[in-house]
Amino acid sequence: MTPLRLARLLRLIAMLQSGRGYNALQLARECEVSRRTIFRDLQLLNEAAIPVRFDLPRQTYRIAPEYTAPVPHLSADEVTALLLSARFSPLSSHEPLRTQSQQAIAKLLAGSPPRLRQEGGNLLEACVLGSNESMRPPCQWEVFVAIAEAIRYGREVRVTYAGEENDEADPPHRTKFAPYRLIASAGRWSVVGRSSAHRAIRSFPLEQIVRVEKTDHAISCPPRFRTPHNGVV
């Protein structure tokens, strides 16, 4: 086996274990090879007792969740990209994301080679995020976290939202809501999903949502759901 193919197989394993599914075309684009090559690689992984599963409704591949494998070491460029993304995210100014982000960075650097630990520490010390109010979620922090957790765990929520014109004479509305996508685009935050009150896919600006109540009702995003380009349905 050539070093190039070995590197590609390791990359495929990392992608297929990431928690999301990929179709053959997406894998081919990420690895810069043909779909035929991807199919051969997937067959090789299965022959090596790595259980690659095909999700028929979603038309995607992923490694069976019960399978565990050593996590590949990150390169210096990959670590740098993660550090910069975490440091300059406007969400990092909010608790508990700030503390959790700092803990994750510390764990990442602790498992890195000494030189990378030193370079990473120097980078973090030199990076400062100033005021960036325009990209912070324009809603109560509890609302943002509740929506994000509902998407993470695949749960429906009950949403209370204000009228579009914020008219005091127009009382808040309520709906059961299955959130599919949380979108930040051009300084605007919105959540897209299915609203029971509207019986359709709807987009709600986060600033319009005043309350989110959790439920135990499991949901899943439709297999062929397409994310709106700008968060507007």
Proportion of the chain above pLDDT 70, given as a percent: 87
Largest CA distance in the chain: 71
**pLDDT band at residue 220 using 50, 70 and 90 as cut-offs:** confident
H-type helices in 164-227, by residue range?
none
Rounded Cα distance, 146 and 137, in Å = 13
Task: Tell me which of 20-24, 84-88, 172-176, 202-206 is least confident.
Answer: 84-88
Q: What are the pLDDT digits (tens) for 98-111?
A: 788 888 888 888 77
List b or e across 196-230, with b for residues whose CB sees 16 or more CB atoms inside 10 angstroms. Answer: eeeeebbbbbbbbbeebeeeeeebebeeeeeeeee
pLDDT at residue 87, rounded to an integer: 78
pLDDT at residue 42, rounded to an integer: 94
Check pLDDT > 80 for residue 227. no
pLDDT at residue 66, rounded to an integer: 80
pLDDT at residue 176, rounded to an integer: 96
pLDDT at residue 232, rounded to an integer: 58
pLDDT at residue 199, rounded to an integer: 94
Domains in the chain, ordered, with CATH?
3-63 (1.10.10.10), 76-126 (no CATH), 141-218 (2.30.30)
What average pLDDT does the structure give for the chain?
Answer: 83
**Cβ–Cβ < 8 Å for 208, 164:** yes
Task: Tell me which of 2-6, 30-34, 92-96, 114-118 is least confident.
Answer: 92-96
Check pLDDT > 90 for residue 35. yes
Looking at the chain, which runs of residues are DSSP E strands? 52-55, 60-63, 155-161, 173-185, 188-195, 200-205, 209-218
Q: What values do phi and psi take at 77, rounded to 5?
A: -65, -40
Beta bridge partners of 204: 191
**37, two tokens:** 């090559």
Question: CB-hemisphere CA count at 13 Å for 124?
Answer: 17
174 vs 133, more confident: 174
**pLDDT band at residue 91 using 50, 70 and 90 as cut-offs:** confident
Check pLDDT > 60 for residue 133. no
**Cβ–Cβ < 8 Å for 155, 214:** yes
| Average pLDDT of span 30-49 | 92
**Cβ–Cβ < 8 Å for 50, 62:** no
pLDDT at residue 211, rounded to an integer: 93
pLDDT at residue 169, rounded to an integer: 66
**pLDDT band at residue 39 using 50, 70 and 90 as cut-offs:** very high
Contacts of 169 (CB under 8 A, 6+ apart): none
pLDDT at residue 26, rounded to an integer: 92
Beta bridge partners of 195: 177, 200
Rounded Cα distance, 143 and 137, in Å = 9
Rounded Cα distance, 84 and 119, in Å = 13
Tell me: cis bond preceding 96? Omega within 30 of 0 counts.
yes
Proportion of the chain above pLDDT 90, given as a percent: 30
**Cβ–Cβ < 8 Å for 6, 53:** no
